[in-house]
Structure 1
Amino acid sequence: MSAVESNLLLAHCTVLDARVVDGADPVPDAAVWVRGDRIAAVGPYAQVAAQAQAAGAVREVDLDGAYLTPGLVNMHTHLSLSLPGTGGDDVKTMGPHDLAYYMADGARRTLHCGVTTVRCVAEKDHADFALRRAIAAGRVQGPRILTAGRALVCTGGHGHESSDTLECDGPVGFRRGVRSQIKAGADLIKVMISGGIAGEHERINTPQLFTDELAAVLETAHAWGRKVTAHAGPAEIIGAAVELGLDCVEHGYQLTPQVVTRMAERGTALVPTLLVTRCKEFFDELGVPEWMQCRSLGAGPRHLESFAMAVDAGVEVLLGSDMPPFWHFEGTNATVRELECMSERIGPARALHAGTRGPVRWLGVEEDRGTVEVGKLADLIAMDEDPLTATSAFRGVRWVMKGGRIARDDRTEAA
């Protein structure tokens, strides 16, 4: 891994920004001056080059007419995912050392896909905190990590079989659960409030928390300045959670017009994870049992309808794959394939927003990332096709920078 370059001029590119949905125009024949780990200038090539050269020696990196965008943000990540089946069993039986290497390899692959920030929403044994420290220290390549630590579940609730969840009961138990994750370093809290597609002894619409338990989670997390996201499927359960102040819904398999209207009014975001109900090849690869495949794939049509309702109601929809971000799937990686599925409904410009600026605003880190602006961290990716014409352009990501470090350059690797 190379050291941070102190003075780089990223030349001959078209700069695209998630602010296009607000009317910002792409900048053709542009340059971005990166000094240290941040963007020092962006604009027409001649103007930025003169500014950079006047400040001292600068090394030019010719991007050969590529389209340059902010790095992608995946808001539903499990680097230690272990679904039912033989593939998941292999991960569950890993010792702590094997798990650390496994997750570090996933983090490197994730970054190379063009994902420069992830939101982890349930990882095993708090290994995510060690991985975050290793990445920050430069010992491991990977994206910036914001994490919920272990997800909170009721006794026997969704995901209880794995060490990426923490069983709690009653308001006092859930308050303690929230505080334990914050003590470990959690940036947000994840809670399972309904059944899902991966629980053999539950249904998608099985309620799993009482009102006083969820209220305790929300009150405690918000008092500590942490947002709460919830694994949730059915409209009735989601609607009640939204009224209590839930910040984000994961999946939302069975929404209704009434519930999405309230989500939009109250600012509750949706990470739809569309791939999880249309990924038979992935399930077959991992040996996922038939009962789970039937439940997942059977939920697909209703899932898409729910997503469409949310979009039409004005709910903020954000990119999140649930599948490991780097996983090769249908000719690309899971992150890009999820974004393509979203784009079919929201279009390429909104998809760019959903994969960059929207997530960082929810995460509260918009001062540092999500757009190509002066002062922002130099988390940037480049591709040869225009992602405002087709989201599939992200399949061609060939150059990745995170914080002034060039993490991937296909031209250099080919040479």
Structure 2
Amino acid sequence: MSLRRKLALFLCLAFTGTAFLPAVAAQQQEKAGVRRTLVRAGHVLDVKTGKIADAQTIVVVGDTIQSIAPTASLTAEASDAVVDLGGMTVMPGLIDVHTHITMNTDFDPFRELTSTDAKQAINGVVNARLTLMAGFTSIRNVGAGDYTDVDLRDAINSGQVAGPHMLVSGPAMGITGGHCDDNLLPAQYHQVGDGVADGIAAVQQKVRQSIKYGADLIKICATGGVLSKGDDPQASQYTLEEMQAIVADAHRLGRKVAAHAHGAQGILWATEAGVDSIEHGSYINDAAIAEMKMRGTYLVPTLYLQDWMVEKGNLPALYHQKMLDVTAVAKKNIKHAIEAGVKIALGTDAAVYPHGLNAHELDVYVNQMGMSPLAALQSATVNAADLMGWTAKTGSLEAGKWADIIGVDKNPLDDVRVLQDVKFVMKAGVVYKGEGSAAK
């Protein structure tokens, strides 16, 4: 581990102090099988079917759901912990497959240039907790400097800090001078992004290096982007052959590939190369839609950030026009892709808007994109779990899966915006918010 990463991790842990030691102790107790936790739910939502079952009890042992049964049939034992959610609708924890958990909405170039790995690590600790408290119990982090997200994932998994389950990519891969390079400094500084690699041999080496340092997936920049200098969101970056080499190595080594892609040509090439998901998809066209449907490639729209930018964004001039150009077309094109039947997994680009507002993406899907509330919820549960390769672990409330459970005041199928105010959060059998979070 580099000295920078050690310092970043040390600062992370120092920052958290002892705030979450009770939760860690509770988690260890649950895993030891000392007691059951009975989650008494007023209503349980089956996100696969949309059906509601009233007066159900979810039995949690350790970090796992043991069973779900009518409350009337389950009598608490003396050693059981009981969580009373009798007035709530309960469902699986939400999943966001496109976050930048170690970053914030600091778009000023000076802030970008002065953001250290240690600062990113501290950001990650704060943002991971915000995200968990918002009801997102799993995330896929697609881009972080110097593998700070790897260290954050490991700290969460070991119980040192609070946060969602994470799959992480480390630095995103990109071409020299492209969206995932560092382009703000002049030539004499010779600044190069952590994930830059050009040519087939170089991209193969970079995939292997990312896996060596702990990446769960590979993130690539197939086209230019918005919040970067000197590139065009519609322009392809990696060639088809380079992306084929990336995907071949990643898949052989058990990692999926997420492709940042705004432009239609880049979307098509990335899909033909075999990536598992297209992120953003702003200029998607019929050819790309057809290819994605044929291959079963997921589209990960990141739409709420556009609304947030219109209302509260204050971008520097070098980014502003690109944001206007993309937002002028993205929703229309993505709505067309949704109506055409492309598979959707919820992703938000959290960091381009403030962390913790992730559920606003669902509101956009339903009330702007025309998705049914159930389809929107499935994008953030069963679909997202499928994309992450975690269907056996999460995405629905079933015996044998993680006890990732959230509660809200009413049925989100009646008003999906209720998920913007989650009242109860349990992750892996530990209550972090709501009934029982302090005492149990």
What displacement does 1:82 show? Answer: 5.8
1:264-343 alignment, distance < 5 Å = 264-280=293-309, 284=313, 287-324=314-351, 327=354, 333-343=356-366
Deviations 1:82-123 (A, max 9, x none): 66733x643652433333222111111111111111100001
CA positional deviation for 1:281: 5.5
* Residues 164/57 of structure 1: CA separation in 2 closer, same or farther (3 Å cut): farther
Give the CA deviation at 1:283. 5.8
Task: Please give the root-mean-square deviation of Cα atoms over the aligned residues, in Å.
Answer: 2.3
Query: Structure 1 pair 407/84, CA: closer, same or farther in 2 (3 Å)?
Result: closer
Whether 2:91 is the aligned partner of 1:69: answer: yes
Post-superposition offset of 1:147: 0.8
1: CA distance, partners of 2:311 / 2:351:
11
Structure 2: distance between partners of 1:321 and 1:34: 30
SS of aligned partner of 1:279: helix
Q: 1:283 to 1:150 in 2, by over 3 A?
A: farther
Report the more deviating stretch, 2-11 or 100-109: 2-11
Matched, 1:385 2:410: yes
Could you list the per-position Cα deviations for residues 21-54 of structure 1 after superposition, in whole angstroms to 9, with x for gaps in the alignment?
xxx621111111111111111131112x24x64x
Counterpart Cα distance in 1 of 2:41 and 2:306: 41
Number of the residue aligned with 1:98: 119
Q: Kindly tell me: are residues 118 and 258 of structure 1, through their superposed partners in 2, closer, same or farther at Cα, counting changes over 3 Å? A: same
Q: Which amino acid aligns with 2:387?
A: W
Amino acid corresponding to residue 182 of structure 2 in structure 1: E
Question: In structure 2, which of residues 384, 393, 418 is the aligned counterpart of residue 359 of structure 1?
Answer: 384
SS of the aligned residue for 2:399 comes to coil
1:162-241 matches, within 5 Å, as 165-241=194-270
**Worse-superposed segment, 305-314 or 293-302:** 293-302
Aligned twin of 1:155: 176
Q: Do the aligned partners of 2:298 and 2:343 also contact (CA within 8 Å) in 1?
A: yes
CA–CA separation in structure 2 for the residues paired with 1:392 and 1:173 = 45
2:420 corresponds to which residue? 395
CA displacement, residues 389-411 of structure 1 (integer Å, 9 cap, x when unaligned): 12101022011000110011178
| 1:58 to 2:87 alignment | no
Q: Which amino acid counterpart does residue 314 of structure 1 have in structure 2?
A: G
Pick aligned residue for 1:375 from 400, 403, 407: 400
Offset, 1:324: 3.1
Measure, in 2, the Cα distance between the counterparts of 1:82 and 1:409: 27
Unaligned segments of structure 1, at least 5 residues: none
Compute the TM-score of the two structures, normalised by the length of structure 2: 0.85
TM-score by length of 1: 0.90
| Equivalent position amino acid for 1:313 in 2 | A
Listed one character per residue, the Cα deviations across residues 48-70 of structure 1 (whole Å, up to 9, x for unaligned) are x24x64xx631211113201111
Q: How many residues are matched?
A: 400
Q: Distance in 1 between matches of 2:42 and 2:113?
A: 44
Native 8 Å contact 1:149 1:164 kept in 2:
no
Letter in 1 for 2:359: V
Report whether the alignment pairs 1:145 with 2:166: yes
Q: Which residue does 1:41 correspond to in 2?
A: 67
Contact 2:305 2:352 in 1 (8 A): no
Distance 1:383 1:336, change over 3 A: same
Go from structure 1 to structure 2 and tell me whether the alpha carbon gap of 1:240 and 1:412 turns closer, same or farther (over 3 Å shift): closer
Answering whether residue 56 of structure 2 is matched by residue 30 of structure 1, we say yes
Structure 2: segments with no counterpart, 5+ residues: 1-19, 184-191
Tell me how far 1:238 sits from its aligned partner.
Answer: 1.2
Q: Is the CA contact (8 Å cut-off) linking 2:177 and 2:231 kept in structure 1?
A: no
Alpha-carbon separation, structure 2, partners of 1:258 and 1:380: 39
- Higher strand residue share: 1
Q: What is residue 258 of structure 1 aligned with on the other side? A: 287
